[in-house]
Structure 1
Amino acid sequence: MQSLSSPFALTPTTTVGELAASRPSSTRVFSRRGIDFCCGGGKTLEEACRRRGLDPQEVLREIQQELERGAGEPVAWTERSQAELIQHIVAHYHEPLREELRRLHGMALKVLRVHGEKDPERLSQLADTFVLLKDELEPHMEKEERILFPWILSGRPVPQGGPIERMMFEHEQAGQLLVRLRELTGNYEVPPGACNTWRALWNGLEALERELHEHIHLENNILFPRASGRA
């Protein structure tokens, strides 16, 4: 059984990123509670809970319960090499994401075309916001795979103020677009009478948000700090 006292004591002043990196199952709690553990990983748990109106001690208890449950504990990527982590990011996140962005884009356009008269302003804004996200993520992944990841794998130090900072800035931009999509969908509450495509779009966008949070967390809180000598 894992304990909150090992390998270091976790308290409300522990950052969300440290919790997510050292106790991967904590991300399940963060997802349930709406706590940003990727772009917001630098905030303490206390700060993150205050923003959500949550009790940090209660959240820590939930994390302990996830640890004690034990089954299906996610891989502790802090214990794996940079090469293994990069391979996982590309195979598990980048490659499926490219296909999913195309699929969801097509559905967003279809829902706007077929049902736009029911909620024209919201559906139009949603389609536009999704295009911004897609146009942000596709070249972002390309730059990581062609420039940053090979640089990290070469073992050369990544300079401060260089590509890592740029990638983290782009992560923040993507995070803001995800927040906007959640607002536009009413927290992904499927509207009454929605067709199958509309329902699938809402469900797909919510799953996309969850996957991107995990994806960005691995880079912001584990891969990048090690590459820049901050971990």
Structure 2
Amino acid sequence: MSTTNTPSITPASTLADLAVRLAGATRVFHAHGLDFCCNGRISIADISAKKGLDPAALIAELEAATADASDFERWDDAPIPALIEHILEDFHAAHRAEVPRLLDMAEKVERVHGDKASCPRGLAAHLTLMLESLDEHMRKEEQVLFPMILAGRGRMASMPISCMEDEHKDHGLNLEKLRALATDYVPPAEACTTWRALYLGLEQLERDVMEHISLENNVLHPRALRD
């Protein structure tokens, strides 16, 4: 991994490239609701036009975020075995631990506050679907794709990689629904401590899943097909 060689930021820079190479970039993208993982191969200029943003202001935010960021680890030039180990330990294992914890909290909130109009009804059911979908997806990576890449057969993995990236789009749609069910992770005034903690955890889950997908779509997969 690397912590140097900060890339320059221009209107032609893509979200995907900046997300994996620029400290603080994903925080800025999250703040503006920009998809840098599944649809990150779009330039600053194009996404600004699409979202009605000022590209110069967005670049200034990114530059400021880079100056303020610390302990940023770049994985775009890390050895592939180290990158896969990072994905397994910091994302696969983390998702398997965190989603059930959030599901328990969501079930409690719906059970206790189900009579309130602001209750996020259906949130627990959606988290159950997400857990099942993520687990099935990660097992495919662990049992098929990652062993192929580690065995030096990445160039022959175009079909499983295409399948995984299609499933990543489904995960992206699941995140959109999650955010809608949780009202952009803004708890109502009457929310209890568990409810507020749930929304904080869901927002972090969204960040983690997006960074997970970004590493695979924008770093691991292109390198596996090329190296």
TM-score, normalization by structure 2 = 0.90
- 205-214 vs 160-169, which deviates more? 160-169
Write the deviation string for residues 176-203 of structure 1: whole angstroms up to 9, x where unpaired.
1111111222211111111122112111
| Residue 75 of structure 2: aligned partner | 77
Matched ranges for 1:149-160 at <5 A: 149-159=146-156
Distance in 2, Cα, partners of 1:46 & 1:136: 34
User: Is the 1:26–1:63 Cα contact (8 Å) retained in structure 2?
Assistant: yes
96, 106, 109: which one aligns with 2:107: 109
| Residue 52 of structure 1: aligned partner | 51
Distance in 2, Cα, partners of 1:184 & 1:51: 25
User: Is the 2:23–2:66 Cα contact (8 Å) retained in structure 1?
Assistant: no
Q: 1:177 to 1:18 in 2, by over 3 A?
A: same
Distance in 1, Cα, partners of 2:109 & 2:48: 35
Matched residue SS, 2:166: helix
Matched ranges for 1:1-231 at <5 A: 10-69=9-68, 71-119=69-117, 123-159=120-156, 161-229=158-226
Distance in 1, Cα, partners of 2:16 & 2:53: 17
Q: How much has 1:127 moved relative to structure 2?
A: 2.3
Aligned residues: 225
TM-score, normalization by structure 1 = 0.88
Q: 1:80 to 1:175 in 2, by over 3 A?
A: same
The root-mean-square deviation of aligned C-alpha atoms, in Å, is 2.2
Distance in 1, Cα, partners of 2:225 & 2:206: 27
Write the deviation string for residues 61-116 of structure 1: whole angstroms up to 9, x where unpaired.
122223334x5141111121111111111111111110111111111112111211
Moved over 6 A (4+): none
Distance in 2, Cα, partners of 1:116 & 1:46: 44
User: Is the 1:16–1:43 Cα contact (8 Å) retained in structure 2?
Assistant: yes
Matched residue SS, 1:179: helix
**What fraction of aligned residue pairs are identical, expressed as a percent?**
41
Q: How much has 1:10 moved relative to structure 2?
A: 3.4
What is the letter of the counterpart of residue 194 of structure 2?
T
Where structure 1 has 5 or more consecutive residues not aligned to the other structure, the ranges are none
Q: 1:176 to 1:26 in 2, by over 3 A?
A: same
Q: How much has 1:209 moved relative to structure 2?
A: 0.4
User: Is the 1:19–1:26 Cα contact (8 Å) retained in structure 2?
Assistant: yes
User: Is the 1:25–1:73 Cα contact (8 Å) retained in structure 2?
Assistant: no
Distance in 1, Cα, partners of 2:67 & 2:114: 48
Q: How much has 1:27 moved relative to structure 2?
A: 1.6
Matched residue SS, 2:154: coil
Where structure 2 has 5 or more consecutive residues not aligned to the other structure, the ranges are none
